[in-house]
Amino acid sequence: MTTLTLNRFGTLVAFLLLCIGFSIAAPQAFASQANVFNLVQQMATLAIVATAATLVMTIGEFDLSVGFSASLAAVICFVLFGQGHEVWVAVPVALLAGLAAGAVNGVLVARFGIPSFVATLALGTILSGLAFGISGGQSLFRAIPDGFKSLGRGAVFGVPVLAFWIIGVLGVASFVLTQTEFGRHLRAIGGNAQAARLAGLPIVRDVIITFAVAGGLAALAGLLLAARLGSVQHTMGEPLLLPAYAAVFIGTTASPTGTPTVAGTLLGVAITGVLVNGMTIVGVEPFIQRILTGVIIIAAVLLRRIGRSAV
């Protein structure tokens, strides 16, 4: 297998080998219909957060607040439920909170020139404090409408409801990035921000919109996770951050140009999800799973660099 072929198809081959390996190691557990159903549900929220990360990485930035935004949105929604508000009120308010948080990130980065790593980490810390304060540090699980739970539970024609969320969100994101003028702007900004500025592109506007959308997607992921679990903790979205970026970096190895794509991210999410699910089934300790996640990110970055050098 040549270096170019490995760069294009190696990630897909790795995914297939993982599926085959875990199917052999635990055939009755891993390959069962119940586990496949569960795997799709686990991947849904990760896929949406990873899509948010993909959008931000397309413009050459990072958003380390997505996990905190997910937690805060879920907390706000459940607090509103506890106050007697209906789904049609609580859900939009929670989504708007995510959009607003993302927009603040965008303003800090685009208007004030604060590095995205610093700005989003600082804002994420603020969001974490807000989630703790609003929830009182307690788990929230009372007065949850069945209509809200249905957003993340059950199946339609045997297909998990959350699978349709994956298809919808990733489909729209892919269309925007590849088929719209806005998507071309984002790729231009990520490719060479200075050249994009000289070309007259509205960089400040586009960066703010990108971060706002990322915050909204993170909030949506938090709500879907809360709907599936039926309860909320103020830290529930934070574990999504590292796997989301791991998925994006893994996905870049499947791109001919080594840049983030929605299709590549979906493949990265599938690999990350299968790896964690399979290791859990075969009894791998959680701390080893975290170590392997970090190793995978490093390996993905190295493979991307090798692929670029070979082109």
Residue-wise pLDDT tens digits, 186-234: 999 999 999 999 999 999 999 999 999 999 999 999 999 999 999 999 9
CB neighbourhood size of 168 (10 A): 11
State residue 251's pLDDT score.
Answer: 87
State residue 3's pLDDT score.
Answer: 52
CB neighbourhood size of 306 (10 A): 14
State residue 296's pLDDT score.
Answer: 76
Cβ atoms of residues 111 and 235 within 8 Å: no
Sign of CA pseudo-dihedral 151, 157, 163, 169: negative
Spatial CA neighbour of 161 closest among 33, 36, 46, 37: 37
At what angle are helices 203-229 and 66-82 packed, to 10 degrees? 50
State residue 254's pLDDT score.
Answer: 73
Delimit the domains of the chain by residue range. Answer: 3-310
Structure tokens at 209: 């919109």
State residue 35's pLDDT score.
Answer: 93
Spatial CA neighbour of 188 closest among 86, 60, 38, 18: 60
Q: What is the DSSP letter of 32?
A: S
CATH-assigned architecture of domain 3-310? Orthogonal Bundle (1.10)
DSSP assignments along 89-140, one per residue:
HHHHHHHHHHHHHHHHHHHHHHTT---HHHHHHHHHHHHHHHHHHHHTT--B
Greatest alpha-carbon pair distance for the chain in Å reads 61
DSSP assignments along 142-195, one per residue:
SS--HHHHTTTS-EETTEEHHHHHHHHHHHHHHHHHHHSHHHHHHHHHHH-HHH
Any bridge partners for residue 232, and if so which? 140
Q: Which residues of the chain have pLDDT under 70?
A: 1-9, 303-311
State residue 15's pLDDT score.
Answer: 87
Sign of CA pseudo-dihedral 39, 42, 44, 49: negative
pTM: 0.92
CB neighbourhood size of 245 (10 A): 24
CB neighbourhood size of 86 (10 A): 12
* Rounded-to-integer distance, Cα 52 and Cα 235, Å: 19
Structure tokens at 71: 């937690």
State residue 142's pLDDT score.
Answer: 84
State residue 13's pLDDT score.
Answer: 83
Spatial CA neighbour of 270 closest among 22, 46, 26: 46
Residue-wise pLDDT tens digits, 256-299: 777 899 999 999 999 999 988 999 998 889 888 888 877 877 87
Report the SS3 class of residue 140. Answer: strand
